[in-house]
A and B are shown apart, each in its own frame.
Chain A
Amino acid sequence: MTHFTKRSLLTALAALPAAALLAPAAHADIEVNVNRGDVQPLPIALPIFSGGQIGADIVGVISANLQRSGLFRPLDPASFVERDLTIAVQPRFPAWQQIKAQALIVGQASLVSGRLEAGFHLYDVFAEHELGFANHGTGSGGLQFASSPENWRRLAHKISDAVYERLTGEKGYFDTRVVFVAESGARGSKIKRLAIMDQDGANPSYLTDGSAVIMTPRFSSNTQEITYMELRPEGSKIYLLNLETTRKESLGDFKGMVFAPRFSPDGGKVAFSVERGGNSDIFVMDLKSRATARLTVDPAIDTSPSFSPDGSMIAFNSDRSGSPQLYIMGADGSNPRRISFTQGRYTTPVWSPTGEFIAFTKQTGNQFHIGVMKPDGTDERILTSSYLDEGPAWAPNGRVLLFSRQVAGGGTKLWSVDVTGRIIQPMPYPGSGSDPAWSPLLN
């Protein structure tokens, strides 16, 4: 069991003693455009932080994060010309221009009476000035984070998020975790356990013993609670699990199967499917009052509910038209309407945290795809294609999706794709896994 340690992580952001110049006007700054599909990743130099091994370890995590985002290209440290940087001295910009670095991070890590502290400065190499973190601390200069030493990876993720946000203008997604289903065993007798790890695949831990098949784990907006479905021969149950206290409780007993749970954006409700006599409809439960309301009354399959970020709408999957398609309705079940109309079978709609898109799984012929469309059904974009891709899950900033990819006759792995479809890659988790869901940014 993972013990979450947010209390031990000081998130107060203190500006380092101003080292160099004040940041000039923002218009001259380098920036990364996250909206362009043809964007060239920004070359960034990440010399290891001073302070020994921990400095190198922290930079290794930051570098991997930025690289995986597809928006940055960390340069080979062997190419660095200026070697003995410290945060107290401004870098020699021509030495970094020479290797075509556009951004440079200079930092240091140190242990101060049992606490790990790491501070850094970010520079625009060709403009030859520091990119200050104006919204934090004193208004310019670098950033400093502190944590207990065992939380050094989270500290590195927070630095990654700060750099990502400073250079793209959007929130990062690196200090997050992913719940998923860890798979082992042969097909037909797979063991599927509830699992959780950092978004970069580190610190995986397993939360169930494998005696039941676990499906569809989903995070609450409070980052501490997840809901998931347990499948046994006797039937299915939906559980709420508090990651901090490890308290687990059932949503209750229903006649028939229950499945496809997902929290409302405020964490106060869970929408899910209930099957009775072979017919599946969507219900919602208020977690405080435990009152349950039925949202769809239709002989068709109605499942995979997903709230809009403002909580006012629910996207869902139904075959009421004769084949599985995407629908949206009011969060009270009012005014259901179909939004997917092009050729193909559509399932697993998931509203993006920004509200901009609904991600989905689409089946055309013998291929499966992850795609996104606007909530009104326009601007459909297919992002992936393989024998079996399914179950998209949004990063909290709405820029990256995780999904499951199964090879024909083989195992299932976790993959990610950015919302432009340009960067598709396996998650850095060595095992088999499926059904990922992303936490919000941690506190």
Chain B
Amino acid sequence: MITIRNSGSALRLALISAAAVSLAACASHPKPAYPTTQPAPPSRPVEPPRSPAPAPQPEPVSQAPLPGSERDFTINVGDRVYFDYDMYSVRSDATPLLDAQASWLKRYPAVQVRIEGNCDERGTQDYNLALGARRANAVRDYLVAHGVTAGRITTVSYGKEKPIDAGTGEAAESHNRNSHTAIVGGARMQ
């Protein structure tokens, strides 16, 4: 097992291995596990857990993703951006990743995506469904404003039903307030 103290690299490694595992299991929509070992942000409102930067060199532990594939998108672009507590505006630190998503989607115009809005558990179900829908639509609107055809994008809210971090406290909650861009069709097969 490779361990690297730099959290950004550790995240990338985790994403690669998770994607590889998902592919091995023939999962159609690999959902990378979020590492729970990141240093906890100090307090609310917090800095985001940084999303993986675009275009890393693939580690030798795994085959390089085929351009235009779902793995390419997940690993080289990044499929999740994060939100502040009870907020749905796209954060400034999320725009580089969403810009990269828009570019990638314009490069592969057959790809269809579903934007999935997620919330932390510090809210009630109905309200969180509505809040998750706001987050998904904020990301959708951003991608459309940056040239992605609206008809290629659907949205859904999972409310607080799909936490990616099973922990409690602000660190876990900040991970669980996110929007996930899932490829649902048109990507090249790996």
Contacts and interface: CB of A to CB of B under 8 A. Distances in A.
Tell me if chain B binds chain A. Answer: yes
Interface of A: 186-188, 190, 192, 213, 215-216, 231, 233-236, 256-257, 259-260, 273, 275, 277-280, 301, 303-304, 317, 319, 323-324, 345, 347-348, 361, 363, 366, 388, 390-391, 406, 408-409, 435
Interface string B116-141: 10000111111101110110111011
A277 B137 contact: yes
A363 B131 contact: no
Contacts of B155: 278
A277 B134 CA distance: 8
A188 B127 CA distance: 19
A269 B101 CA distance: 43
List 6 tightest A-B contacts by C-beta distance, closest first. A278-B137, A280-B130, A301-B130, A347-B124, A260-B126, A303-B126
B161 A190 contact: yes
Nearest to B170: A366
A414 to B, nearest CB: 15
A216 B129 CA distance: 12
Interface size class on chain B is 35 or more
B124 A391 contact: yes
Given A260-B126, A279-B134, 4 more contacts: A275-B133, A301-B127, A361-B124, A409-B166
Interface of B: 86, 88, 114, 116, 121-127, 129-131, 133-134, 136-138, 140-141, 154-159, 161-164, 166-168, 182
A257 B133 contact: yes
Nearest to B34: A188
Nearest to B137: A278
Contacts of A347: 123-124, 126-127
- Report whether over half of chain B's contact residues are helix, strand or loop; otherwise say mixed: mixed
Nearest to A232: B156
Contacts of A233: 114, 116, 156, 182
Contacts, number: 101
A187 B163 contact: yes
Given A188-B162, A188-B163, A257-B157, A317 B126 contact: yes
B126 A348 contact: yes
A186 B126 contact: no
Given A231-B158, A409-B167, A278 B138 contact: yes
13 contacts: A190-B161, A192-B161, A231-B158, A236-B129, A260-B126, A273-B126, A278-B138, A301-B127, A301-B134, A319-B127, A323-B86, A347-B124, A409-B166
Contacts of A435: 125
A304 B126 contact: yes
A301 B156 contact: no
Contacts of B164: 188
A256 B133 contact: yes
A408 B159 CA distance: 18
Contact of A278 (B134, B163, B166): B134
B139 to A, nearest CB: 10
Contact of A186 (B123, B136, B166): B166
Most A Cβ at <10 Å: residue of B129, B130, B158, B161: B130
Contact of A304 (B86, B122, B127, B157): B127
Contacts of B141: 278
Contacts of A406: 121
Nearest to A272: B126
